[in-house]
């Protein structure tokens, strides 16, 4: 079975797009109202890559441990009941943080990736509700029902995990989209300095890598033209804001001097290149080290 084709047809259902729009419009306002530091934490700016997949490892590990312990408990190892409950509680608590991080990343997606992310979210919410019901059943003394609900939740989250992987490996969500520049440490000619007008964001190709040139504080700056978040061209969508440049596609803002992220959703820094002026020409190279 062609699972990629199945996913594409699934998310093309009209109700999915309308549901995604409704959730983004309502719950998205809550995330937008959070302080920038909180949003940056959830995006993973402090990590240098998205935080969501990091915390989901804890969620999956906790629920996988729970599944193994539940089998052992059902087989007669009643003494491990506290351990199974701890694994369940760990999965639920870490799952809430994973959901917050995932939703913060999802709210700025568009196109098919946004619809796939919405279905991914539905799977995970359903699985979480099953695990909450499992916890309630266990606390009420019906551990058999609790185990059954937990196994149902595990299967549901497996579907959600598949869609999460599909977002990364098929739709390139969460990866670094800044174009790699495979070159030596030699300077490459990027054109005449006199032709670079103040306020202009000029795209040039160096060894087939897109580079954006612009003037800032009396110097010429060279950065990767592909925004690290989703690859939008900064030469078309970039906005200079003081000592930073913002990509207007999804709002990521980078420090001009070194490309570090000031404001997500990007968690990846923007490559900044060395520039020198020689005989009226702009020359650019990869920074050493």
In a domain? residue 244:
yes
The percent of residues above 70 in pLDDT, for the chain, comes to 99
pTM: predicted TM-score of the whole model, two decimal places: 0.89
Q: What confidence category does residue 167 fall into, taking pLDDT thresholds of 50, 70 and 90?
A: very high
Domain count along the chain: 2
User: pLDDT digits over 115-138, tens only?
Assistant: 999 999 999 999 999 999 999 999
Q: What is the pLDDT of residue 288?
A: 72
Task: Please state, as a whole number, how many other Cβ atoms lie within 10 Å of the Cβ of residue 77.
Answer: 13
Both 157 and 203 in a single domain? Answer: no
Both 198 and 149 in a single domain? Answer: no
In a domain? residue 152:
yes
Instruction: Name the token pair of 2.
Output: 């062609």
In a domain? residue 16:
yes
Both 205 and 241 in a single domain? Answer: yes
Q: What is the pLDDT of residue 166?
A: 92
Task: Please state, as a whole number, how many other Cβ atoms lie within 10 Å of the Cβ of residue 251.
Answer: 14
Both 253 and 161 in a single domain? Answer: no
Residue 181 predicted with pLDDT over 70: yes
Both 55 and 125 in a single domain? Answer: yes
Q: What confidence category does residue 6 fall into, taking pLDDT thresholds of 50, 70 and 90?
A: confident
In a domain? residue 179:
no
Range of the structural domain that residue 79 is part of: 3-169
What average pLDDT does range 97-106 have in this prediction?
96
Please tell me the distance from the alpha carbon of residue 104 to that of residue 101, in angstroms, as a whole number.
5
In a domain? residue 176:
no
User: pLDDT digits over 35-56, tens only?
Assistant: 999 999 999 999 999 999 999 9
């Amino acid at each position: 079975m062609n699972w990629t084709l199945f996913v594409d047809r699934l998310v093309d259902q009209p109700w999915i797009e309308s549901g995604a729009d409704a959730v983004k419009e309502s719950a998205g306002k809550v995330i937008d109202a959070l302080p920038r530091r909180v949003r940056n934490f959830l995006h993973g700016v402090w990590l240098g890559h998205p935080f969501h997949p990091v915390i989901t490892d804890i969620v999956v590990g906790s629920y996988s441990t729970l599944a193994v312990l539940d089998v052992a408990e059902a087989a007669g190892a009643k003494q491990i009941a506290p351990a199974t409950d701890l694994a369940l509680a760990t999965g639920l608590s870490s799952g809430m943080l994973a959901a917050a991080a995932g939703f913060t990343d999802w709210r700025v997606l568009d196109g098919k990736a946004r619809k796939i992310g919405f279905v991914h979210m539905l799977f995970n919410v359903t699985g979480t509700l099953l695990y909450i019901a499992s916890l309630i059943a266990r606390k009420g003394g019906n551990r058999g029902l609790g185990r059954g609900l937990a196994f149902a939740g595990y299967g549901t989250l497996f579907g959600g995990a598949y869609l999460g992987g599909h977002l990364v490996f098929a739709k390139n969500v969460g990866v670094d989209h800044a174009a790699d520049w495979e070159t030596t440490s030699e300077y490459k000619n990027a054109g005449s300095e006199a032709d670079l007008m103040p306020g202009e964001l000029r795209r040039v190709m160096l060894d087939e890598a897109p580079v954006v040139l612009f003037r800032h504080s009396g110097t010429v700056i060279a950065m990767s033209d592909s925004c690290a978040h989703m690859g939008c061209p900064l030469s078309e969508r970039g906005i200079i804001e003081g000592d930073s440049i913002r990509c207007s596609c999804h709002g990521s803002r980078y420090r001009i001097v070194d490309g570090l992220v000031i404001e997500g959703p990007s968690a990846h820094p923007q490559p900044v290149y060395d520039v020198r002026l020689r005989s009226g020409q702009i020359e650019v190279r990869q920074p050493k080290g």
